[in-house]
Amino acid sequence: MPERSPPGDPAPDDLTLRWQAGRLVLGGKESRHGHPLCVDFVSGAVAHRRRFGGGRGQLIARACGLARGLTPSVVDATAGLGRDAFVLASLGAEVLLIERVPAIFALLEDGLARALADADTRAIAERMHLVMGDATHRLEALVAKTPVAPQVVHLDPMFPHRDKSALVKKEMRLFRQLAGDDPDAPRLLEAALDLATHRVVVKRPRGAAPIEGPRPRHVLEGKTSRYDLYVHRALVPAKE
């Protein structure tokens, strides 16, 4: 059976979308960019984290308010490759993924389709809702078209990656070429604060300053990163 044509013209000139081993991948010269990017929720590191990542004890789950008897819905306004959204969905949350870069959106669309077709990940993928758009300027309108309530808005603006692995550096270099930096992060934070009904969660490097704007009310720190929490009101379990 011939493979489908990849989506048209979504990537810079030196990068191409193509089908490889049944998956949509994006890449260029391996010496420059490393292995091609793809979104894989079924196998690999994401599957390992789903099985052994620590459940609701994970830092992102705690930051987003997932606790015993409490599973808020989450808008991931900077979806990227969808790894954080998949973790939250695997813990039971309804998650809206918003992605503004067409090539990354195409990878997410393919990854979700394959997750929906796999028995082990189907139920998780059904809780993930994907839309394309610029959350900085259209966050409220994008969320309004979906069934996901914005109890929590999660932001992970692009920042310099300090991992020592050459492979990760190349992956992040490729990702940065597509997504660019996030000089509009303060505006995105403002939009998120206007929309979220309960809290906004911002992922930052552990030693970085908070995004310009109001100061976070709480901070959760990990080994290399932290979550700044901007809380409007407490999350409470839904009444049965």
Q: Quick: pLDDT tens for 5-43.
A: 555 545 555 788 999 999 999 987 766 666 788 999 998
> Residues of 193-226 as b/e, b for ≥16 C-beta within 10 angstroms?
eebbebbbbbbbeeeeeebeeeebeeeeeeeebb
What predicted TM-score, i.e. pTM, was given to this entire model? 0.85
What 3 state SS string does the chain have? CCCCCCCCCCCCCCCEEEEECCEEEEECCHHHHCCCECCCCCCHHHHHHHHHCCHHHCHHHHHCCCECCECCCEEECCCCCCHHHHHHHHCCCCEEEEECCHHHHHHHHHHHHHHHCCCCCHHHHCCEEEEECCHHHHHHHHHHCCCCCCCEEEECCCCCCCCCCHHHHHHHHHHHHHHCCCCCHHHHHHHHHHHCCCEEEEEEECCCCCCCCCCCCEEEECCCEEEEEEECCCCCCCCC
More confident residue, 28 or 60: 60
Domain 56-231 class in CATH = alpha beta
Judge whether 152 and 71 are in contact, CB under 8 Å: no
Strands 225-231 and 218-221: antiparallel
Q: What is the pLDDT of residues 78-114, one digit of tens each?
A: 999 999 999 999 999 999 999 999 999 999 999 999 9
Which stretch of 80-89, 123-132, 161-170, 195-204 has the lowest confidence by average pLDDT? 161-170
Q: What is the structure's pLDDT at 2?
A: 40
CA distance 59 to 205: 13
